[in-house]
Amino acid sequence: MTDQDEGTASVIKILRRALVEGMYAHAREASPAECCGLLGGRGGRAECVYRMRNVAGDATVTYEAAPEDLFAAQRRMRERGEELLGIYHSHPRSADPVPSPTDVKLAFYPSAVYFIIGFDRGEPVLRAFRILEREGRWERVGFDLSDD
């Protein structure tokens, strides 16, 4: 599934299908709580998924990555020569996920693409967003899926 609807920005990320399937598996395993994680890679191409534990007070409606998981993932990215390309989390009760007001308020990485997985009606759907926390807004962005 390519997220290239009218009105989205140009393609900014390439995701391997295997990574997306890993993100979907993480979302299913965490449900009914939200899952969260990072995407690392090079040159706009995501190469690794870094699962995080959600330690939010109410993980069914928000996410907060465990600090030790976050630091370990960032250390592994540096060792591999990767950069943080994306942040993902799930909205288990949404068939068409968009950033919540809390997602916008807590979007501290303006250069990252925020991916949200929804699967309220069975099949998961992945949406990508650029979130501008300081401006309090978001915009949907496109991405391509790759088999390699």
Could you tell me which residues are beta bridge partners of residue 113? 86
Tell me what the mean pLDDT of segment 54-81 comes to. Answer: 96
Confidence band (pLDDT; 50, 70, 90) for 6?
very low
Is the separation of the CB atoms in 50 and 40 below 8 Å? yes
The pLDDT value given to residue 12: 53
Place of tokens 């465990």: 66
| Domain boundaries, given as residue ranges, for the chain | 12-81+88-146
The pLDDT value given to residue 2: 37
Which residue, among 84, 87, 91, has the nearest Cα to 52 in the 3D structure? Answer: 87
pTM: 0.89
For Cα atoms 124, 127, 131, give the angle at the middle one, nearest 5 degrees. Answer: 145
Could you tell me which residues are beta bridge partners of residue 137? 132
Q: Please state which CATH number belongs to domain 12-81+88-146.
A: 3.40.140.10
- 109-123 pLDDT tens trace: 888 999 999 987 778
